[in-house]
Structure 1
Amino acid sequence: MLRRTAIASIALVLLTPVAASAHQPRSWAGAWTASAQGSYPDGYAVGQPDLTTVLPGNQAENQTLRLIVAPNSAGTSWRVRLTNEYGTKPVTFRNAYAGLQSSGANLAPGTNRPLSFDGRRSVTVPAGRTVLSDPVAVRVTDARAQRLAVSVHVAGASGPMTWHAASFTTSYLTGPNAGDHTADVADLAFPYTTTSWFFLSEVLVQSRDTATVVAFGDSITDGFFSTINGSDRWPDVLQRRLELTHSDLRVVTEAIGGNMVTRIGRTPGGCTPCDGPPALDRLDRDVINRPGARVMILLEGINDLGGGGATADQVIAGYKEIIQRVHARGIKIVGATLTPSAGTEFGLYGTPETDAERRAVNNFIRTSGQFDGVADFAAVTEDPARPGHLLPAYDTNSSVGGPGDHLHPNRAGFLAMAGAIDVAQLERLARVPALR
């Protein structure tokens, strides 16, 4: 994801606060999202360095985090949501900034702008709550080449840190008790890296067109085994396909590794807190209440079958509830068929019984008529010579190298999956106004 052009030649920052005017759009759309899933370290990080000495006691303490995110569109006015949803005590962010990354933790000169919250530079977020910043002016002219860097200074000890475990993006940390480096342009104070996002769940952009497609799912939507810093999860590839058609639709990703549709527990030895809230519990937060949400693409259920021991009927019952709830708000839903997992050596994913349940779920998705559209991911990823298995070309690990785990498609698989989505249909579905 970190391929860079000469940022200084294409990035400008407005030096005055953003104010509403007749020439500016008035609506806010999702430019980037990451589902808050729990408190660090509960979750499945990928490519993560050992942070034991960087986050002693699994918390931040008087240190600065520089979090790198890839917006899905250009823009000049942004808002940032900080989250303490899974904290047990208030967290004070003494300062926060947003600017443009140049390379590593370095920022493009002149682009780093202070964030405010109801006009104040410092904000304390109570446990279980989030806070949305005031608008900040940063000019992003090419979302494919430019990234936003959101820097936050945690004053004192944070306690449990709300996070999104698998970002497939490198972000940067100071050491504990290093103080406030949010305004720094150079990266000298940020020697440590992470492949997770902490305390950050949403970036909004001011836009005339707010129609949004929400890619909702588990680890396969979250990007396991896409490349780190490659922006090649299937939702990322879908966004680029839409851009090629000159569509104004935006794609945001609300996915959590290990996530399930139902509330059925995991098999013995599993980690229930690692999986985030089930789809039925996070649906309002991540889809129904999302600004501009018009279409949801649902890819979940394999963890219920292979990790939780659920039946196809239980997964389908969960689907029916999700369909009813999003339709009640005028949001359309595309069902994505479950990709194969035969040969997987953990949980129940690799068994013939799970494959039979998966096929029953996929039959419902394809034939029930309850979804507004179907993305047949199974058809483009399954090996016709070995039914139930991923195609060998898709069964390697693009994240850290080596063989795959027979469950997660790689970068090549994600390209094929995004190619299976009917973008013309998405465009038609998204133009039906949602109810609010």
Structure 2
Amino acid sequence: MGRRRPTSAAVSALVALATLAAAVLTGPETAAVATVNTDCPGSHWVASWAASPTDSLVAVDATGGRSPSALTDQTARMVVTPHLGGSSLRIHLSNRFGSSAVTFGRVTVGVRTNGAAVAGVVPVTFGTAPSVTVPSGQDVTSDPVTLTFSAFTPLAVSIFVPGVVNGPTKHWNANATSYYSAARSGDLSTQPGGAGFTATTGAWLFVDGVDVMAPAGIRSVVAFGDSITDGFVGATALTAPADASVADANGRYPDVLQRRLDDAGIGLSVVNAGISGNQLLTDGRPFHAGPSGLSRFDIDALAQAGVGGVLVLEGTNDLGQSSSTPEQIIAGYLQLIERTHAAGAKIWLGTLLPASDALVDGTVLAPNSEDHRQRVNSWIRGQTRADGVVDFDAALRDPANPAVLRADYASVDNLHPNLQGYRAMANAVNLALLDTATGGCRQ
């Protein structure tokens, strides 16, 4: 069944099984996170793509382009790139941050061919119905959909919204181009052509997950973190806006890591639960930084279908913007470790990247950030509570000055890696470590 919103940190509560033919509505009052069954003998749902919802308020995307603050009788065509192919999928839609219920009047999916054009438009149903109304604060999971596609083949999820929806839930920094039609243009979800989709956005509206029915042994691994996991590449010294030239490159470190796993023949699907600006300890709502890592971890990481492990890289913004202490961040990591192990999954910690010469999160505005980063990293390297460590810091720091990123790996903001830096991050991950992920039979 679909991802559910947890009511507490008690992540070992069992999720009740639902009939695959029925839609699943989930919200903060009803959600729980299942334990992982490490014996997964047959086909099961595995997360192939994910995007953590961030907000419903900010009217621009990360590149400074428009993200619609309202939809009126129009269609959004969201382009997503799955990491795991298959022939049966299900789609997750979110109204997590909407102020009122939203009706999805019709939803379709197909293989994106060029721009907003789609080949083989297939209807998506919810409890066998073509439409579904999702209350504020809840998500919905579709019925299984028959569609054959390969890994890294872009899919177009078209969502017709009748009436007026103020504040559509979205993922702010998609690093990808999606499309929407003009207000009052009606239902274009079944049209294969892209002519009616006259506007573009660098945010993902409503859609927050795609699962694939996969053979036994296939598991998902969640990359959990902030903008560095989200794949943000800064375009200015002030970080914002994001560099629009890297959109649609699928060059985030989880993307490159997926290609490495595929080349090695390891049956893992890496899904991205990064949120730009996110902090482990401090809530960033109602703006695009989203809920704190601690508060969203269960729904965004542990509730992913087929999850066997989580790779955590988060804390840079806590040090640079909230002046959190190393001890507070470490206490947060210990909570994540405990919750992950209670769910029967593995967890690995990534060391924090250097940023002392960055204007944002650097020592100019946060004088203690470098010292505190070193203390956090020292603890990560020395602890034995997690199931392993990925030393991103060692892979990307300047050997001549370990407090800064290597120049050839850095965006112009000296905070975020560039595409070459993200490739180096992916190359720093020991694939054998990830392959210890548990069976991942959570549905």
Give the counterpart of 1:103 among 101, 114, 119.
114
Matched, 1:417 2:425: yes
Checking the alignment, whether the CA contact within 8 Å between 2:170 and 2:205 is kept in structure 1 is yes
Equivalent residues in 2 for 1:297-336 (5 A)? 297-336=311-350
Give the counterpart of 2:132 among 119, 123, 127.
123
Partner in structure 2 of residue 64 of structure 1: 75
Checking the alignment, whether the CA contact within 8 Å between 2:121 and 2:192 is kept in structure 1 is yes
Give the counterpart of 2:274 among 255, 279, 284.
255
Checking the alignment, whether the CA contact within 8 Å between 2:306 and 2:440 is kept in structure 1 is no
Matched, 1:49 2:65: yes
Partner in structure 2 of residue 426 of structure 1: 434
Identity across the alignment (%): 37
Give the counterpart of 2:195 among 188, 200, 203.
188
Secondary structure of 1:97's aligned partner:
strand
Secondary structure of 1:413's aligned partner:
helix
In structure 2, relative to structure 1, the CA distance for the partners of 1:319 and 1:236 (3 Å cut) is same
Give the counterpart of 1:158 among 159, 165, 183.
165
The residue type equivalent to 2:322 in the other structure is G
Structure 1 residue 26, shift from structure 2 partner: 4.2
Equivalent residues in 2 for 1:20-419 (5 A)? 26-41=43-58, 45-51=61-67, 55=68, 58-108=69-119, 111-140=120-149, 142-144=150-152, 146-209=153-216, 210-225=218-233, 227-263=246-282, 273-346=287-360, 350=364, 351-396=366-411, 404-419=412-427
Secondary structure of 2:402's aligned partner:
coil
Structure 1 residue 395, shift from structure 2 partner: 1.7
TM-score of the superposition, structure 1-length normalised? 0.86
In structure 2, relative to structure 1, the CA distance for the partners of 1:28 and 1:433 (3 Å cut) is closer
Secondary structure of 2:376's aligned partner:
helix
Structure 1 residue 107, shift from structure 2 partner: 1.1
Secondary structure of 1:430's aligned partner:
coil
Count of residue pairs brought into register by the alignment: 392
User: For 1:352 and 1:82, how far apart are their aligned partners in 2?
Assistant: 41
User: For 2:98 and 2:336, how far apart are their aligned partners in 1?
Assistant: 28
User: For 1:337 and 1:422, how far apart are their aligned partners in 2?
Assistant: 14
Structure 1: stretches of 5+ with no match in the other structure:
1-17, 20-24, 397-403
User: For 1:100 and 1:409, how far apart are their aligned partners in 2?
Assistant: 31
User: For 1:347 and 1:422, how far apart are their aligned partners in 2?
Assistant: 28
Secondary structure of 1:158's aligned partner:
strand
Checking the alignment, whether the CA contact within 8 Å between 2:61 and 2:201 is kept in structure 1 is no
User: For 1:40 and 1:81, how far apart are their aligned partners in 2?
Assistant: 21
Structure 1 residue 347, shift from structure 2 partner: 5.1
State the Cα deviation string for residues 333-371 of structure 1 (Å, max 9, x = none): 111000011111135555552000000000011011122
Checking the alignment, whether the CA contact within 8 Å between 2:404 and 2:414 is kept in structure 1 is yes
Q: How much is the aligned-residue C-alpha RMSD, in angstroms?
A: 2.1
User: For 1:187 and 1:48, how far apart are their aligned partners in 2?
Assistant: 23
Structure 1 residue 272, shift from structure 2 partner: 6.3
User: For 1:322 and 1:248, how far apart are their aligned partners in 2?
Assistant: 25
The residue type equivalent to 1:420 in the other structure is A
The residue type equivalent to 1:147 in the other structure is P
User: For 1:206 and 1:435, how far apart are their aligned partners in 2?
Assistant: 12
State the Cα deviation string for residues 375-402 of structure 1 (Å, max 9, x = none): 1100111112223111111123xxxxxx
The residue type equivalent to 1:231 in the other structure is N
Structure 2: stretches of 5+ with no match in the other structure:
1-19, 22-41, 234-242
Secondary structure of 1:167's aligned partner:
coil
Q: Whose RCO is larger (CA < 8 A, sep 6+)?
A: 2
The residue type equivalent to 1:93 in the other structure is F
Checking the alignment, whether the CA contact within 8 Å between 1:48 and 1:196 is kept in structure 2 is no
The residue type equivalent to 2:228 in the other structure is I
Secondary structure of 1:369's aligned partner:
coil
- Structure with greater proportional strand content: 2
Structure 1 residue 328, shift from structure 2 partner: 1.2
TM-score of the superposition, structure 2-length normalised? 0.85
The residue type equivalent to 2:278 in the other structure is N
Structure 1 residue 136, shift from structure 2 partner: 1.1
Checking the alignment, whether the CA contact within 8 Å between 2:351 and 2:391 is kept in structure 1 is yes
State the Cα deviation string for residues 213-261 of structure 1 (Å, max 9, x = none): 1100000000011821011100011101000111111111111111111
Structure 1 residue 282, shift from structure 2 partner: 0.7
